[in-house]
């Protein structure tokens, strides 16, 4: 397996534009997580899915952020409209259920909002 695949790797956009980040989890992993990493706040969990169903979205900053998982092999994180404070590295990660434990991260998407 190629691991968790994220795209784009880098995105530079202007304030007010819509941003869509994409993730393909490892095949067979039931859980998918979206994290945001900044110097100030570290790794923050935004939302996670189990079997394509959102379980906890309490970390989503505000209504400008939305995430979907239409099927077991694809998820998107959308920011609309984007703001400079959204600049961060966004990681997608997937894992097997419960006791198996390990989170496998993608390479991340570095977002810069000007």
Partner 1 sequence: GENVEQHPSTLSVQEGDSAVIKCTYSDSASNYFPWYKQELGKRPQLIIDIRSNVGEKKDQRIAVTLNKTAKHFSLHITETQPEDSAVYFCAARATNFGNEKLTFGTGTRLTIIP
Question: Which residue among 48, 69, 90, 109 contacts partner 1 (CB under 8 A)?
Answer: 48
Nearest approach, Cβ of residue 79 and partner 1 (Å): 21
Interface with partner 1, residue 50, by CB under 8 A: yes
Rank residues 79 and 92 by Cβ distance to partner 1 and give the closer one. Answer: 92
For residue 109, list its beta bridge partners: 90
54-82: burial string, b at 16+ Cβ within 10 Å, e else: eeeeeebeeeebebebeebeebebebeeb
Three-state DSSP state, 52: coil
Edge-to-edge strands of the sheet including 65-71? 5-7, 19-24, 74-79, 65-71
Rank residues 17 and 47 by Cβ distance to partner 1 and give the closer one. Answer: 47
Interface with partner 1, residue 52, by CB under 8 A: no
Interface with partner 1, residue 25, by CB under 8 A: no
For residue 22, list its beta bridge partners: 7, 76
Interface with partner 1, residue 99, by CB under 8 A: yes
Residues that bind partner 1 (CB under 8 A): 31, 33, 35, 41-43, 45, 48, 50, 55-56, 58, 91, 95, 97-99, 101-103, 105-108
């Amino acid at each position: 397996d190629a691991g968790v695949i994220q795209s784009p790797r880098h995105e530079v956009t202007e304030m007010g534009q819509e941003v869509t980040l994409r993730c393909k989890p490892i095949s067979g992993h039931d859980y998918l997580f979206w994290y945001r990493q900044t110097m100030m706040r570290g790794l923050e969990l935004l939302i996670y899915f189990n079997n394509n169903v959102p379980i906890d979205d309490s970390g989503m900053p505000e209504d400008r952020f939305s995430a979907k998982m239409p099927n077991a092999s694809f998820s998107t994180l959308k920011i609309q409209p984007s703001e400079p404070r959204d600049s961060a590295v966004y990681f997608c990660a997937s894992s097997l259920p419960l006791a198996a434990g390990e989170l496998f991260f993608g390479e991340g998407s570095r977002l810069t909002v000007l």
